[in-house]
Structure 1
Amino acid sequence: MPSTDPFMNKVAIVTGAAQGLGLDYAAALAARGARVVISDLGTDRSGEGRDPSAVSVALQALKDQGFDVVAHVGQLENEDECRQLVELAIAQFGALDILIHNAGWVDYQGIETQEQAFLDRALGISVHAPVWLAKHAWKHLKLSAAPRIVLTTSDRAMYQRYSQPGLVAYSAGKMAQVGIMNALSMEGLAHGILVNAISPVAKTRMWGVTLPPEELKPEWVTPGVLYLASALCRDTGYILRASNGQFTATRFSENSGVSYPRDLARVEASSLAEVAERWSSIKECHYLPFKVANTRTDLGESPVWDPRSGALYFVDLTGGRIHQLLPDGEVTVLYESAARIGALALTDQGNLVFTEDASVAILDVAQGKVRQYSASVHHRSSYRFNDGACDPQGRFVTGLMDEGPSGKTGALFRFDGELHDEVIHDDLALPNGLAWSQDGQTLFFVDSVSRSIYRAEYLEEGRLEHVTLFAETPAELGRPDGIALDREGGLWVCQFNGSCLLRYDRHGHLTDQVVMPVPRPTSCCFGGAAMDTLYITTARFGMSPAELRHYPDAGDLYAIRPEVGGLARFAFKE
């Protein structure tokens, strides 16, 4: 075992560890050098009874593998039993770094037949136990270099669509752990104690499973719990959903624009009649993506809103087409080419500046014809321009990329009104989305390969200074693609192969995640009369026939309506 393992010589408590998920967590920790206290009362599926032999069998199995483990049997809804468990860890190992509360049970009892004892058992293990454990562990965790608490919640409690009749007691306890997590995560900030929760789906005895399952295996949840329990995790207050070897992190996030508690930045109503009248708006989920048009683009990109005509322009990059979405919802092909069209922008004359392979052109919208071309900036056919936008001075900036594996050969080019070019930044692998701040003094741009969003000071002459990393998007959420800015300075980014959009505030902190119904959102722009609609292009490019059967709407045009409207884009000066 390498001494650099994050669990080497750490001390962990794992509850509900005689079998199933808890036993797998304990074994994984011990295998990586942790010293572990396992606790289990040995109850049945209704939380009743006591069988010390269950934890004894687990203890022996772990010791047979050479692990440094001790066992505890106790009723954890009782504060004294929780104190004794923590004291056992300190007496045996001299410290405490990790507390994983996995203990729990699932049984059903309808609301009309709900019994006091049944409810008390559910709340005892899911509410009292984590509170008492945290209380007595806290002073020891404060001494740890990387103190971590992992609680356990459930999708069946958090999501109405997954709930089932008879789970009132279970759901009350599991939702309570979300509240406990939130409160402890704030209380722990001053001491570096990070508190998160796992929401696992696994076939264990709670499912009535006795043989090893072929799917939803407990061991497929364990890597996520190990991460939350390790020094590698730097976040607090997150719920990690885990199922079938897949993970997604979530949390309850506030709407943009809220000034709590006095201003919810939402619908106002002062009477029953007004609430009833405005109910559809009150319950509206502004971040729920809705389809705008069935476009079926292979690689939709570069949406641009035209406030004068109320039209939306966008491209099909690999299809070589510029599309126009008219105010009546009709989608037309405005221009078609054998070349790859990577990006476009409006001009001050109502035309379009756009890229064809490694050159830039101006399209006369009324005539549907190109009237001006730049010289190609690269002789190799694998090179092409990707995303682009106009700077405050009316020049077009676009990123050159190599579709072949050539490393960091990408660069940002700036084109003036005569389509003369100049490189303003290089050393990029896959330059992508660009957007300017409202005052035009800051440029944000993406390098998709490194999953990086950069921020730079943009000088009036069109040079970049002080280029710094603004945000690095999560590896599990695909790669960043096109971006747009809202009026609060928030940056929205499409996550290609990540099935979502992310929003970062002006400081680079992730504030929102919008799940898309298709896996490959590509680019976005604000539009609409009030600039309150975020249009989103998507792609079918590279998807297998099986994936397309599963996501038949891939390549269509979508939109969301965020709480905060967006910034209009600058136009190209012809």
Structure 2
Amino acid sequence: MSSQQKEYALQELTGGLFYGEGTRWRAGKLYISDMIGQKVYSIDAAGNKTVIAEQPHKPNGMGFLPNGDLILSSMHENKLYRYLPDAPVGNNLELYADLSSLFTGYIGDMVVDDNGRIYVDDVGARVFEGEALKPGRIVIVEPDRSISVGLEDCHFPNGIVITPDKKRLVFAETFLEQLSTVDIVDGQLVNRRVLLDMTKIFASEQDRAHKNGCLDGIAIDAEGGIWLSVLYAGQFVRIDSEGNVTDRIHVPGYDKMVACTLGGEDGKTLFMSVSRIKGDHTHIFDALVSRNIETTIFTARVAVGSGQP
């Protein structure tokens, strides 16, 4: 695999969040779930944050339906809600789909196709309650809100995108340290295979000791290149459609690279959610439970614009 190191100018957009997940861009604003803060924010170009929803059961992934409606997840309930922008905060979420009958863990990320079909991660285990990691699945929510399992035996499925040609779904399997892909045929998921083995990119002895190939959120550009939030490695990495590393953005001083999305007026701004553990915690789940973590959003200008609507 090839790698071309490039220089990027990081700009701080905003801070003041605990753990920023599920980043999305829409109509001039960044949307982000503060999982531990139990709020969903919109953030304007100047970095001003507005609370748009309060979610006591922890928000995570989100996505926009083709008509522009925002769908939010409630992790510990394993439910999806439609955001009602004209209602007051605290009374502005309408149940969209209850996934609890198919889930064994929590909702992770999600992606919405052009038909309004939603693909939602089930991470498999209830890790906040101390349950050991175990395989989860990807659940499909049809436009009529019926639900079904689309793919089983997914190892902590996380960041998830659809390729610009609409033919494949790509998702991170965090603690397996790999990026997997599957074909989309009439809305169903078939022909699963490994797209990228992260242990070959982060292959040093130190990398392996720290599992630096773990991935969290991902974003796809118009060329099919994918930006990866490399959770423990202090950087965001772009791979091309063949899996070759083309770019790296280092974010010094932060422990966890959590989520990313492409947006801005031309789609060429990469928004990066990065977190720093406070105190003596060494494990991310311990820091999340104790709320000893803080998130900052950085931006960088990149060459290729967004591949998602």
SS class of match (1:438): coil
Corresponding residue number in structure 1 for 2:114: 392
Corresponding residue number in structure 1 for 2:306: 566
2:100 and 2:229 map into 1 onto residues whose CA distance is 28
- For residues 297-312 of structure 1, what are the structure 2 equivalents within 5 Å? 297-307=17-27, 310-312=28-30
- For residues 346-361 of structure 1, what are the structure 2 equivalents within 5 Å? 346-357=64-75, 358-361=78-81
2:194 and 2:160 map into 1 onto residues whose CA distance is 14
Go from structure 1 to structure 2 and tell me whether the alpha carbon gap of 1:288 and 1:406 turns closer, same or farther (over 3 Å shift). same
Corresponding residue number in structure 2 for 1:433: 159
Name the structure where strand makes up a greater proportion of residues. 2
1:562 and 1:471 map into 2 onto residues whose CA distance is 22
1:445 and 1:354 map into 2 onto residues whose CA distance is 19
Deviation at 1:254, TM superposition (A): 6.4
1:327 and 1:502 map into 2 onto residues whose CA distance is 24
Aligned length: 280
Contact 1:340–1:384 (CA under 8 A) maintained in structure 2:
no
Corresponding residue number in structure 2 for 1:535: 271
Deviation at 1:553, TM superposition (A): 9.7
The letter for the 2-side match of 1:504 is I
The letter for the 1-side match of 2:12 is K
RMSD between superposed Cα atoms in Å: 2.5
1:349 and 1:512 map into 2 onto residues whose CA distance is 34
1:545 aligns with 2:266: no
- After superposition, give the CA deviation of every residue in 1:371-422 in whole Å (9 maximum; x if it has no partner): 2242242498x82101111123221111012133444431001112343211
Deviation at 1:506, TM superposition (A): 0.8
1:432 and 1:341 map into 2 onto residues whose CA distance is 14
1:440 and 1:324 map into 2 onto residues whose CA distance is 27
Corresponding residue number in structure 2 for 1:292: 13
Corresponding residue number in structure 2 for 1:472: 197
1:412 aligns with 2:138: yes
Corresponding residue number in structure 2 for 1:8: none
1:418 and 1:353 map into 2 onto residues whose CA distance is 14
1:459 aligns with 2:185: yes
1:378 and 1:553 map into 2 onto residues whose CA distance is 32
Normalised by the size of structure 2, how large is the TM-score?
Answer: 0.83
Q: 1:372 aligns with which of 95, 106, 123?
A: 95
Q: 1:329 aligns with which of 40, 43, 47?
A: 47
- For residues 512-531 of structure 1, what are the structure 2 equivalents within 5 Å? 512-517=247-252, 518-531=254-267
2:301 and 2:240 map into 1 onto residues whose CA distance is 17
Deviation at 1:459, TM superposition (A): 1.3
1:388 and 1:325 map into 2 onto residues whose CA distance is 20
Corresponding residue number in structure 2 for 1:100: none
- After superposition, give the CA deviation of every residue in 1:428-485 in whole Å (9 maximum; x if it has no partner): 120101111111111111110101101211113x211221111122262351111111
Corresponding residue number in structure 1 for 2:234: 499
Deviation at 1:503, TM superposition (A): 1.1
Contact 1:297–1:539 (CA under 8 A) maintained in structure 2:
no
Contact 1:350–1:365 (CA under 8 A) maintained in structure 2:
no
- After superposition, give the CA deviation of every residue in 1:60-109 in whole Å (9 maximum; x if it has no partner): xxxxxxxxxxxxxxxxxxxxxxxxxxxxxxxxxxxxxxxxxxxxxxxxxx
Go from structure 1 to structure 2 and tell me whether the alpha carbon gap of 1:306 and 1:363 turns closer, same or farther (over 3 Å shift). same
Contact 2:221–2:308 (CA under 8 A) maintained in structure 1:
no
Contact 2:19–2:293 (CA under 8 A) maintained in structure 1:
no
- After superposition, give the CA deviation of every residue in 1:284-317 in whole Å (9 maximum; x if it has no partner): x4x23221112x322211111113xx11111011
Go from structure 1 to structure 2 and tell me whether the alpha carbon gap of 1:337 and 1:463 turns closer, same or farther (over 3 Å shift). same
The letter for the 2-side match of 1:305 is W
Q: 1:316 aligns with which of 34, 50, 70?
A: 34
Go from structure 1 to structure 2 and tell me whether the alpha carbon gap of 1:555 and 1:407 turns closer, same or farther (over 3 Å shift). closer
Go from structure 1 to structure 2 and tell me whether the alpha carbon gap of 1:314 and 1:435 turns closer, same or farther (over 3 Å shift). same
2:213 and 2:86 map into 1 onto residues whose CA distance is 39
The letter for the 2-side match of 1:545 is G
Deviation at 1:568, TM superposition (A): 2.6
2:47 and 2:132 map into 1 onto residues whose CA distance is 41
SS class of match (1:449): helix
- For residues 144-183 of structure 1, what are the structure 2 equivalents within 5 Å? none
1:299 and 1:554 map into 2 onto residues whose CA distance is 6
2:108 and 2:160 map into 1 onto residues whose CA distance is 10
1:510 and 1:326 map into 2 onto residues whose CA distance is 31
SS class of match (1:394): coil
The letter for the 2-side match of 1:370 is L
SS class of match (1:530): coil
- For residues 12-411 of structure 1, what are the structure 2 equivalents within 5 Å? 253=4, 285=7, 287-294=8-15, 296-307=16-27, 310-357=28-75, 358-367=78-87, 368=89, 369-378=92-101, 383-401=105-123, 402-404=125-127, 405-411=131-137
Could you list the runs of 5+ residues in structure 2 that have no partner in the other structure?
A: 283-291
The structure number with the bigger radius of gyration is 1
Percent identity of equivalent pairs: 21
2:214 and 2:64 map into 1 onto residues whose CA distance is 27
The letter for the 1-side match of 2:31 is Y
- After superposition, give the CA deviation of every residue in 1:124-154 in whole Å (9 maximum; x if it has no partner): xxxxxxxxxxxxxxxxxxxxxxxxxxxxxxx
1:298 and 1:553 map into 2 onto residues whose CA distance is 6
Could you list the runs of 5+ residues in structure 1 that have no partner in the other structure?
A: 1-234, 238-250, 256-284, 570-574
Deviation at 1:349, TM superposition (A): 3.7
The letter for the 2-side match of 1:429 is H
Q: Choose between structure 1 and 2 for higher RCO, CA contacts under 8 A separated by at least 6 residues.
A: 2
2:248 and 2:67 map into 1 onto residues whose CA distance is 37
Corresponding residue number in structure 2 for 1:446: 172
Corresponding residue number in structure 1 for 2:288: none
Contact 1:339–1:356 (CA under 8 A) maintained in structure 2:
yes
2:49 and 2:259 map into 1 onto residues whose CA distance is 18
Normalised by the size of structure 1, how large is the TM-score?
Answer: 0.46
Go from structure 1 to structure 2 and tell me whether the alpha carbon gap of 1:289 and 1:547 turns closer, same or farther (over 3 Å shift). farther
